[in-house]
Every structure is written in C-alpha cells, then in structure tokens.
Amino acid sequence: STNVEVRGKYHDNICGIGQEGTYSFDLWIFPMDNKIEEPIFKFESIIIQQIQGIQSGRWSMEQTIYDKLNIQTDLPNKDHKPYLDTIIKDYCMKRVWSDSPTIKDISHLLPSPKIILNNQLNSISNQDLIDSIEPFNELAAYYAQMAIKDLDLNQEHHPLLNACRSLALTINKEVTWHSTQLRLIQLIERFPRLKPFLITFNKYGLHLKDILSGEKNGLDIFFGDDEIGQTFQQIKTLISAIKTQQIFNSICQHLQLQYEQIKNSSSFENYRLRIFWLTDSDCSDVLPILDLLLNLSQQTGLLIDLYYADSDPIQLANAQQTFNTHLNNQTKNLSIIYDETIDLYDSKTLEKIPFESFDIIFSANQLLGNQDLTKKNALISLRRLLVPNGLLLLLELVHVPLYFDLIFCFFDQWWSSNDNNRALNNIQQWTALVKQIEGFSIIESTINQNESTLIISQKTISNEILQTLNERKNQTWLIFTKDDNNDKNSFSHILSSLLPCSNIRIFDIHNSTLDMICSVIPVLLTTYKQVSIIFAWQLDQVSLNENNDDLAFKQNEELICGTLSRLLQTIQKSSPYFYPFVYVLTDHAQFNNDSNLNLIASPFIGLARSLITEYERNRLKLID
C-alpha cells in the first residue's frame, strides 16, 4: 500500500493527434512505512489527454467505479472486493501473452489459368441455352418483324432499328400477334428453366414499336417495374452462375490438393486467401461459392477474407442478411467485408484500398459496353489491387446470339457510339486489352456462345516488370532509422531490400530535424497515392547506463516521442485521402520472462499505444 499525492493544473499543450485539451500534474507516491520520508516514485509534469469518442461501456454509467468505491468506503463492514476486482480488471496492467503467428500470403499456391480451364470449364454446362439459340432467335425475329412493320424506315439511324432489321431478315414468313403468342407458349413448355428470357421477350416486344417510333423510351416502360427487374436478375444468373461455380470449384480443388501435398510438413492455418468480389447480380448466386470457401477453410484451416462490393445499398444489405443466415455462425475462418462505395469507373473509390491487397479479383459483367479507354482504366485499377501471381477473373458477354439484342437493347452501354452496333469486345479484343495494360504474364479464356465468357489473367511475379507498374511507382516508403546504406549488413540496407518499391527515403536519427520532416510529409502525401512509414528510431537510441540516464530519457522524450507525435499530427492536418501505414518498431520494450527489458522505451510504448486509438483504424502497428 502507498500514499499518493497529486498536484495538477490544466494547460493547452497537445501531445496526441487530436486537438482536445490536456491535463498536466505532478505525482508523488510514498510508502505507508513512516520510516521512509522520500517518495518511492516521483513524476513531474505527467500529461493526460482525453480522446474523443474512446470510452468503454462501463464509463457510460451514471457513476464510475471509483465513485461507487468512494461511497462504499464511508460504510463500515462492506465488502469492497467486487469493486476492487473491477478496477484491477479494467485499469491495472496484467501480463497476458498470446501467440499470434505470422499470417502468410498464399498467392504462390494459386492455380495457373491453364489449370483452372482444364477442369472441365469448356464443357457444355447449360445445354438448354445451346439448344434454345435457334428457336429464341426465331421468336425475337417475330417481335422484330411486327415492330418495324408499317414503320417509317427513313427515320434517324438507330442501333435498335438495325438489330430489328437484321432479326426480321432471318425469317421468310409473315407473323401475327397470335402466332407469336403461340410460339411463346411452346417455348416456355420446351425450355422451362429459361422462362425469364421469354418473359423479357414478351415484355419488350409489346412496346418495341412505340420505342422505335419515338413515342416512348425504355425508362418510361420499365422504370420502377420490380417484376422485370427480378426477371433480369434471373437472366444474369442463367448466363453466369454455373460458370462462376465451376471457376471457384476448380480453384478450391487445386488448393485442397496443394494442402494434401504439404500437410505433412505444415498446414494452411497461417495462410490467408483474400478475394475481391465485384457484382451487381443477385446475392443468391454467391451462396454456392460461400459453401465452397467455407468447406475449404474447414478442411485446411485456411483463413479466407471476402471483400464483397455492390454499389446498390439495398442489394448489399440483403446480401449481408442472406449470407449471415446461410452461414449460421460457421465463420471461424471466413470473414466477409461489405462495401457499397466501390465504383469500378471511379478510380478514386478504389484508391482507399491499399495496393496489392487481394489474391483473387472476380468481376462478373461489370465492364459491359463502355469504350476501350474506360475499360482499360478500370482494369488498371483492378490490377493495382492484385498481388503478384494473383488472379483476375473477368466474366463478360462476348459472343452471344442475336436475341440478346432484345434483352439488353435498353442499356446505353450495349451499343457502340461509333457505329451503332453492339459494343461487345470479341475475345481477341479482350486479350489485346489486357496485354495492353501490362503486368499480366498469362492470359487465357473460354469461348461460349450461350453464356458469359471467362477471361483469366495472372499477374506477373517478375520484379523487373512490377517496378514499372503504377502500383509500385505511386507508392513510397519512409524509414526513420540510422542511415547506413553503405553497409550492406545494416538494418536500413536489409529493410530497403525487402520493400516492394524503390521509392525509399531514410530519415537519419542524427541528421533529421523536426521542421524538415514536417515540411516533407505533406508533399509526399500529395505526390504519391500510398505512403508507408517505418518508425525505427527507438532501435538507435542511447542506451541506459549509470552515466547518461538524463541524456537517454531526454532523447526518448524530446526526440523520439516528440517526433512520432508531430509526424502523426502533420498527417492528420493534411487529411490525406489514403492514410499512411505507420509501423512503429521497438527493441525489447515489451516485458516478458525471456527478454532483457529495455526500460527506456516504456514511455514510447505507452505513447504509441495511445496514438493507435487516435490514428486511422488499423493503420498504426506497434512491433517489438
């Protein structure tokens, strides 16, 4: 037990990142033994600062635990143990160590595009879609013939009119509404699974003449029609869902095989697979994929992160609810992040995600239509997010039957603005486009007339090529350490050789002033899209011994703690779009039974822990 005496005052010096007020006080701790008159600890000018928005649930009570304890002390024969236990539990340091293994990248074990395609992906999986091409083209021609009959064909050139003319030329007989409806009923009976296509034909066909004549447009007819919206989602499922399942079944089978081959020496427990999923289709299409991923993680111990992006907030909320119900708390190793802010055609929305964050990127029918330049920029944005050897999986409509013109004709992206024809790229154009953006070593594809075509691209692992890509050029690393680059065995030289880019700047502990650092940081934050900082000055600080205690503490407080605080304040003031990753390195500053504790770093550790709660979430890491 000790006596504590405190003397304090309010002042305005700021030591954290935020701009809240701070309190300064002096603290003496005396032993209860009256024989000793000197304090056992004396702290001059301890500074505390309240952090906005950071509080535990317990602090939101009407009375704090200390208030309750004060009340209890006035009452005799009361048991204080529950309150003291709470204080010890919530406010006192307790030595707790947990083993957190290093999480490893699994991209080097991913299958090549050839292996994925060899797993029966080119087999005919939707035979009814193949068999229906000819009769569906015929039915579409019926609607087209009736739409252009008695129509003024001298009107302005229109891509939908061209499509109707082409369809009408494929039949040599005159049709009526009666014969068209009979044919529709026959096809519904013959192809019941493809009924959504036929419902859409009929819905569009009934209004085709009004649209071609200019009396109505697609929005007048279909805006707010929930039934046709659901039918269109069903069509998307029919042309892409089975292919998607085949792709991920092939990938999961390959990873399972890799696990079987190496499990005698190690397992996948410390490996993580990160998937970026871009979609606007119904979330029910993803449920079979979740089952595949969940089974893989349960069989192998693999950690799986699924980043699920859908720009429609209603669809996204529905997906979250559907996935939670389907998984039913079986998500020990499977984590799902939901994002409604991603827009593939707005690169700014993708810049908030760190470079090279995903092993697999899957995009289904997101690049429909659009000019090659727009597609190219979107593909570059996706490549930036892909790790070396990562897989970019694109599922796109390429070579589709004529009747698709009557299904997608009301989308502006379906038509080319140059020649009024379809805006779809053929497979040769897709391959050329992916090669043009560079950075991919292997490009393979399937060829399907009846459903979406798969284009698989694998990012290069060549460091020489990687260094020429924007994701490496647009990032920089700042290392706060002793500048010994002439010494190949120095910490700075070894660390620099392990970093992913060559844009590296070293701030030497002896030659870097605070003003210089604070002037450089804002410039770098605007020059580069991604900045990473390794703060390792504590590794180079003066050691504690009998002759230089004051010097060591002064250097730790003023130089090291002060610089880190000002560094983060400068970043906060700059309000960058992408907050830098900051890695704070210490040496033997964490106490455990097997370490030679470096006591001098304790204040720095405390400061770093406090700053973690104030800085951008998950961007400040403390590594001892």
What local confidence, expressed as pLDDT, does residue 392 receive? 95
Mean pLDDT of 7-16: 47
User: What is the band of 11 on the pLDDT scale with cuts at 50, 70, 90?
Assistant: very low
More confident residue, 471 or 413: 471
User: What is the band of 109 on the pLDDT scale with cuts at 50, 70, 90?
Assistant: very high
Domain range spanning residue 199? Answer: 128-224
What local confidence, expressed as pLDDT, does residue 13 receive? 40
The 10s digit of each residue's pLDDT in 556-578 is: 777 888 899 889 999 988 888 88
Residue 594: is its pLDDT beyond 70?
no
Domain annotation covers residue 608: yes
Residues 24 and 40 in one domain: yes
Mean pLDDT of 456-472: 92
* Most confident option among 80-84, 129-133, 415-419: 129-133
Domain annotation covers residue 462: yes
Residues 13 and 112 in one domain: no
Residues 501 and 616 in one domain: yes
Q: Which residues face 451 on adjacent strands? A: none
Residues 332 and 272 in one domain: yes
Residues 548 and 565 in one domain: yes
User: What is the band of 488 on the pLDDT scale with cuts at 50, 70, 90?
Assistant: confident
Query: Which tokens sit at 182?
Result: 């009979």
Domain annotation covers residue 229: no
The 10 Å Cβ neighbour count of residue 57 is 6
User: What is the band of 93 on the pLDDT scale with cuts at 50, 70, 90?
Assistant: low
What secondary structure letter does DSSP report for 600?
Answer: G
Residues 193 and 315 in one domain: no
Domain annotation covers residue 97: no
DSSP state letters, 136-181: HHHHHHHHHHHHHTT--TTS---HHHHHHHHHHTT--S---HHHHH
Residues 267 and 215 in one domain: no
Residue 588: is its pLDDT beyond 70?
yes
The 10s digit of each residue's pLDDT in 310-354 is: 888 888 899 999 998 988 877 778 999 999 888 888 888 888 899
The 10s digit of each residue's pLDDT in 31-71 is: 766 666 777 777 777 777 655 544 444 444 455 555 655 56
Mean pLDDT of 258-270: 77
Mean pLDDT of 604-611: 85
* Most confident option among 181-185, 235-239, 241-245, 587-591: 181-185
Residue 187: is its pLDDT beyond 90?
yes
What local confidence, expressed as pLDDT, does residue 191 receive? 92
The 10s digit of each residue's pLDDT in 151-160 is: 765 555 577 7
Query: Which tokens sit at 254?
Result: 């390959």
User: What is the band of 467 on the pLDDT scale with cuts at 50, 70, 90?
Assistant: very high
Distance CA 278, CA 344 (A): 9
Residue 550: is its pLDDT beyond 50?
yes
Residues 172 and 316 in one domain: no
First to last CA, the chain: 32
Residues 436 and 335 in one domain: yes
Mean pLDDT of 124-149: 85
Distance CA 444, CA 112 (A): 10
Residues 111 and 156 in one domain: no
Domain boundary among 169, 195, 224: 224
* Most confident option among 362-371, 404-413, 480-489, 572-581: 572-581
More confident residue, 100 or 131: 131
User: What is the band of 388 on the pLDDT scale with cuts at 50, 70, 90?
Assistant: very high
Q: In the predicted model, what is the mean pLDDT of the chain?
A: 81
Nearest to 535 by CA among 611, 613, 617: 611
What local confidence, expressed as pLDDT, does residue 104 receive? 87
Domain annotation covers residue 233: no
- Of the candidate ranges 61-75, 224-238, 413-427, the one whose mean pLDDT is the lowest: 61-75
Distance CA 285, CA 66 (A): 54
Residue 166: is its pLDDT beyond 90?
no
Nearest to 251 by CA among 332, 362, 366: 362
The answer to whether 43 touches 27, Cβ cutoff 8 Å, is yes
The 10s digit of each residue's pLDDT in 394-417 is: 988 888 888 888 888 777 677 777
The answer to whether 282 touches 238, Cβ cutoff 8 Å, is no
Residues 306 and 390 in one domain: yes
Domain annotation covers residue 428: yes
Residues 250 and 113 in one domain: yes
Domain annotation covers residue 204: yes
The 10s digit of each residue's pLDDT in 526-544 is: 999 999 999 998 888 776 6
Number of domains observed in the structure of the chain = 4
514: left (phi over 0), alpha (psi -120 to 50) or beta: alpha
Domain annotation covers residue 231: no
DSSP state letters, 89-129: HHHS--------PPPEE-GGGSPPHHHHHTTTTTS---HHH
